[in-house]
Amino acid sequence: MNLVTTFVFIFKLLNAALPYKILIYSNLYGHSHIKVLNTVADTLTDAGHNVTIFRPIIESSQLDKSSVKTKNVIYIEPDEEVVEKMSKIDQFSGSLWTFDSTHPSAMIAKSNALVGFFGTQCKKVMRQQKILDQLRDENFDLAITEPVDGCAYAIFEYLKIRDHVTVLSCVRFDHVSDILGQPIAPSYVPGTQSFFNDRMTMKERLLNFIQFYYGRFTFANILDQEYEMAKDILGIQRSWREVLPEASFIFSNHIPVLDFPSPTFDKIIPIGGFTVKTNEKSLKIDKKWDAILNIRKKNVLISFGSNAKSKDMPEEYKKTLLRVFSSMPDTTFIWKYEDPNVNIAKNLDNVFISSWLPQNELLADSRVTVFVTHGGLASVMELALMGKPAIMIPIFADQGRNAQMLKRHGGAAVLQKTDLSNFDLVRDTLNDVLTKPSYKLNAKKLAEMLNNQPTNAKEVLVKHVEFAARFGKLPMLDNYGRHQNIVEYYFIDILTIILSVLISVFYIFVRLLRFMLSRNRSTKDKRV
């Protein structure tokens, strides 16, 4: 620390209420990830802090959907290669419906695809010498990022950022648990991309363990490859494996009473649900939707999110859904279907299709009876907080786990995507969730609990960020376990000693016994 930074540091320690200068490194990629970091940015801006967003553009189509309150946004235009790769991504949507996302080869393929986007754009970012110099001169108090793309950690290291915190858009990330030394407990904690709940059969436990391994690889591989580039371009020494665990706090998008219990650390701070708008005034629904909801007593909302598009699902699945809709003429179905030119349900007057839905607003409306969803975490949080019964049909990534997480509370049923070819199963499940009172009661009870939690997620976020910005790195929260080797961690040295002593004692005992027996025999012999 030189003299100036020492003074700045002392000044910060004494002035707790200062607006802090905060850098948020947020890739423009993936709606759910952008939404989480944007909410963090807006929450901190609202709390009076000076937030700068550093935003390498990967998915240009997200630009108009990602406005933030802060005026300081630094964009890095997408690399040509990234533009070309992204233009082909729409073809990917169809395959999401059919591939087994938990298969190791699928996870490896996904990892390599992501390296293609993130790594290429990261290279471009690292070559922006002027902007990086400018960022260094800003002397930020704190930096924030999400460890999906690891480019940020190379930049933080290069800029010698004083302190940083990490935000997870998922409930957990296996590669982050791994690098923090957080016990993963695969016998009862479903991995990030697992489709099981906490009560697994022997086969499921084995598969969960394998998924943990490959789930960790999916992201660790991206971050490792980016570090290799950073070593060459920026000349930094330390990789994300050393930088990330130094984060003062890891904010995870999970709510303890909603999630499966699992071993955790004090520096992992749950702020789940903080992206959901629950303020009724901001949730006024517009006339068009109001009229539709008034037609029938029961309204079912169907949306599979933005990655796997309904228009790209196998024809067989579409047919099943349409058959189910037509078998329930007393129910209105509102289906997020992304092809505005084709009205796939033109023969059915109880079906409304739209390429976009005001989902948060519709879920908050008491006339919507059931939500059929892919189980993206944002949707699950909205569902849980609004108390709606649901059918979850997970497609990929963390959706399988999210579905099981919500099902455990009794307000949701789970189908697998392949079940969409089974008309009877889909109709019966929907019928159950629509008519059995237990779904509604359990969903309401969960919502009541979640809306009355002892802590407020946004407040928790702001207070912890201010604490980190004020006091810098918090090495006292860094568990020593992650520095231990396997022998120390699993007591192998001590077990070895105990085992050797036991074996020695046993050996001596046996020798002694033999000796005594042989003496006995020889004295007997003498007596005779």
Ligand X SMILES: *[C@@H]1O[C@H](CO)[C@@H](O)[C@H](O)[C@H]1NC(C)=O
Contact residues: ligand X, CB under 6 A? 21, 50, 52, 72, 138
Of 48 and 263, CB closest to ligand X = 48
- Rounded (10°) angle between helices 457-471 and 31-46: 70
Question: Residue 22 CB, nearest distance to ligand X (Å)?
Answer: 9
Question: 270-274 — which CB contacts under 8 Å span 24+ positions?
Answer: 270/457, 270/460, 271/457, 271/458, 271/460, 271/461, 272/171, 272/381, 272/457, 273/381, 273/384, 273/385, 273/450, 273/457, 274/39, 274/43, 274/457, 274/458, 274/461
Contact assessment for residue 407 and residue 198, using Cβ atoms and an 8 Å cutoff: no
Contact assessment for residue 413 and residue 391, using Cβ atoms and an 8 Å cutoff: yes
Question: Residue 3 CB, nearest distance to ligand X (Å)?
Answer: 22
Of 52 and 248, CB closest to ligand X = 52
Cα separation, 293 vs 291, whole angstroms: 5
Question: Residue 138 CB, nearest distance to ligand X (Å)?
Answer: 5
Of 19 and 410, CB closest to ligand X = 19
Question: Residue 51 CB, nearest distance to ligand X (Å)?
Answer: 8
DSSP result, 246-286: G-S-EEES--TTTSPP----TTEEE-TTTT----GGGGPPP
Cα separation, 475 vs 472, whole angstroms: 9
* Sign of the CA dihedral running 273, 274, 279, 280: negative
Of 134 and 504, CB closest to ligand X = 134
Question: Residue 140 CB, nearest distance to ligand X (Å)?
Answer: 8
Question: Residue 49 CB, nearest distance to ligand X (Å)?
Answer: 9
Cα separation, 257 vs 452, whole angstroms: 11
Question: What is the identity of the amino acid at 82?
Answer: V
Which residue has 């957080």 as its token pair?
182
Element of type H or E holding 151: helix 151-159
For the chain, the distance separating the N- and C-terminal CA atoms, rounded to the nearest angstrom, is: 92
Distances (CA, A) of 293 to 334, 335, 392, 461: 9, 13, 22, 36
Cα separation, 301 vs 390, whole angstroms: 9
Of 21 and 205, CB closest to ligand X = 21
Of 138 and 228, CB closest to ligand X = 138
Of 72 and 453, CB closest to ligand X = 72
Question: What is the identity of the amino acid at 44?
Answer: L
The neighbouring-strand residues paired with 301 are: 334, 371
Question: Residue 456 CB, nearest distance to ligand X (Å)?
Answer: 26
Question: Nearest residue by C-beta to ligand X?
Answer: 50
Of 50 and 278, CB closest to ligand X = 50
Element of type H or E holding 165: strand 164-168
Of 134 and 294, CB closest to ligand X = 134
Question: Residue 142 CB, nearest distance to ligand X (Å)?
Answer: 13
Question: Residue 50 CB, nearest distance to ligand X (Å)?
Answer: 4
Of 72 and 431, CB closest to ligand X = 72
Of 52 and 145, CB closest to ligand X = 52
Question: Residue 466 CB, nearest distance to ligand X (Å)?
Answer: 16
Which residue has 């908050």 as its token pair?
364
Look at residues 311, 356, 307, 305 and name the one whose alpha carbon lies nearest to residue 334.
356
Pairing of strands 250-252, 164-168: parallel
Question: Residue 141 CB, nearest distance to ligand X (Å)?
Answer: 11
